[in-house]
């Protein structure tokens, strides 16, 4: 004959069931988000790369710079809100976000190459290498890539990015 559960054993049983359920939810969340890469977002917002229109980098020069995105033209991608200067840019991004998402989620490419981790950028310092957009925290980092061996810096940043993900 099995003895009836005491109040203490009922609490332990309920606690164990809750703990197992919570652990399963955390594991499922980790699996679901394992493939998502971090995106450079503001501290108090979910807006990517400071609200700069990431499509506009491909349609401007360093002298003019990219366009600021507008709230009325937003697309959600990779856990962030991406803003665009106009409807055409938002539609281009929505059709192929991987083409326009900056390398390393918009974090500083130079900082990653130097092993400094994920340093946010404001979107003002940038360059396109091999049809990929790279953002930099400061002009000095961009100039280092332009004046140096950017392909080696990219390999270094790629390795650091893989470790961060």
Report field, pTM of the whole predicted structure over 0.85:
no
Q: Give the three-class secondary structure for 93.
A: helix
Mean pLDDT score across all residues of the chain: 84
165: nearest Cα among 43, 18, 39: 39
pLDDT band at 27 (very low <50, low <70, confident <90, very high): very low
What is the model's pLDDT at position 44?
Answer: 79
Are β-strands 125-129 and 132-136 bridged in parallel, bridged antiparallel, or unpaired? antiparallel
What is the model's pLDDT at position 43?
Answer: 78
CA distance 51 to 117: 22
Backbone angles phi, psi at 161, to 5 degrees: -65, -40
The single residue listed with the structure tokens 């359920």 is: 21
pLDDT tens-place string over residues 32-76? 334 568 999 977 789 999 999 999 999 999 889 999 999 999 999
pLDDT tens-place string over residues 138-161? 999 999 999 999 999 999 999 999
- Domain spans in the chain, listed from the N-terminal domain onward: 40-99, 102-165
């Amino acid at each position: 004959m099995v003895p009836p559960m005491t109040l203490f054993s009922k609490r332990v049983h309920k606690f164990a069931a809750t703990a197992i359920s919570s652990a399963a939810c955390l594991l499922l969340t980790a699996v679901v988000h394992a493939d998502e890469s971090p995106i450079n977002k503001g501290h108090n917002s979910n807006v990517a790369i400071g609200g700069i229109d990431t499509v506009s980098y491909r349609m401007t020069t360093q002298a003019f710079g990219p366009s600021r995105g507008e709230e009325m033209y937003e697309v959600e991608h990779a856990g962030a809100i991406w803003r665009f200067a106009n409807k055409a840019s938002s539609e281009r991004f929505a059709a192929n976000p991987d083409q326009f998402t900056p390398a390393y989620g918009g974090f500083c490419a130079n900082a990653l190459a130097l092993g400094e981790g994920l340093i946010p950028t404001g979107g003002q310092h940038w360059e396109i290498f091999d049809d990929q957009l790279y953002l930099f925290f400061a002009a000095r980092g961009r100039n280092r890539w332009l004046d140096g061996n950017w392909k080696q810096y990219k390999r270094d940043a790629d390795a650091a990015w893989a470790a961060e993900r």
